[in-house]
Structure 1
Amino acid sequence: MDLRILEIASNTANHKIVKNHTHHSKNKNPLCGDEMEIRLIVKNDKIKDMGYQCRSCVYCQASVSMLSQKIIDQNISDIKSLIISIEGLFNETDIKIEKKWNDFKEIMNKDNISRKECLLLPFKTISKALKF
């Protein structure tokens, strides 16, 4: 296992319950049983806060940790663009994503293709919460 995955997953700053959330979603990976719950506060088409809880593998935890740090204060339209393109990182090395999302290339790549569904679960849960 990549030590960087463990390092990213260990940042649990947003592993919390957000009260007065405006958006909420639960999701489960049918392949491995990972479970994810996300609560968001959205104001003026921006994510103002995000909290997550999960019972999942370290890959899923790393993905949701990074996602939770990156999307706060981002526009909903930018997050939608990220979600649309993120799956392509597993297939293409030269995929074009906005520079602010480049950190995701570190974990969303061919080296982790066997954990693709685990890594994508937080994105699918956000997408469900925001009704994309």
Structure 2
Amino acid sequence: MGWTRWTPSPGRSSRREPCLDTSPPDPQLSALYQELILDHYRRPRNKGTLEQATHAVSLNNPLCGDEIDLQLRVDGDIIKEVRFIGRGCSISQAAASMMTQLVKDKSILQALALADRMSAMMQGDEGAARDKTLGELRALAGVSKFPVRIKCALLPWNALTDAVKS
């Protein structure tokens, strides 16, 4: 199953299954949810609506119900502002928060290159996992060990790619 567009609606989320497992964590899962991820989940950066957005897209992950509404203000080819509204697991929301910090003031080409590196890291590319250009996103490298979580981490990046290509 692929990505589908969604229209944000007031009220309850359309989530079917949560991406966040509420069972007691094992040591491997505990490493996945490290403090940086939880910090971005609890205190997301750049969350909210962007006035005068030039690009916008809404995506969801139908497998677990993660949702993101991403808005950008692009001037020339530079992403000047980025905001998101989203619901979902700690991975998707932390990835969105980290992504918004990383792509601000980057060119569209630089942002797309970062999206490619993030995707490579999620596919287990160890070189990408060590790539310092990914910044805090490297904390999500452990997600690659959990195939059902990869789409959670890539949702904001797919939204970014769709937004800048539209």
Asked if Structure 1 and Structure 2 have the same fold, meaning a TM-score greater than 0.5 normalized by the shorter chain, the answer is: yes
1:84-99 to structure 2, matched below 5 A, reads: 84-90=116-122, 91-95=124-128, 99=132
**Cα deviation digits, residues 17-54 of structure 1 (max 9, x gap):** 00110000000102111111001000021111111001
- Whether 2:14 is the aligned partner of 1:13: answer no
2:74 aligned partner: 42
8 Å contact kept, 1:26–1:37: yes
Structure 2: stretches of 5+ with no match in the other structure:
1-29
2:55 aligned partner: 23
Pick the aligned partner of 1:79 from 99, 108, 111.
111
- TM-score, structure 1 normalization: 0.89
Q: CA deviation at 1:111?
A: 4.1
Percent identity reads 27
- For residues 76 and 97 of structure 1, the distance between their equivalents in structure 2, rounded to whole angstroms, comes to 22
Higher Rg of the two aligned structures: 2
Q: CA deviation at 1:98?
A: 5.6
Q: How many residues align?
A: 132
8 Å contact kept, 1:38–1:125: yes
Structure 1 outlier segments of 4+, above 4 Å = none
- TM-score, structure 2 normalization: 0.72
- For residues 24 and 97 of structure 1, the distance between their equivalents in structure 2, rounded to whole angstroms, comes to 31
Structure 1: stretches of 5+ with no match in the other structure:
none
2:159 aligned partner: 125
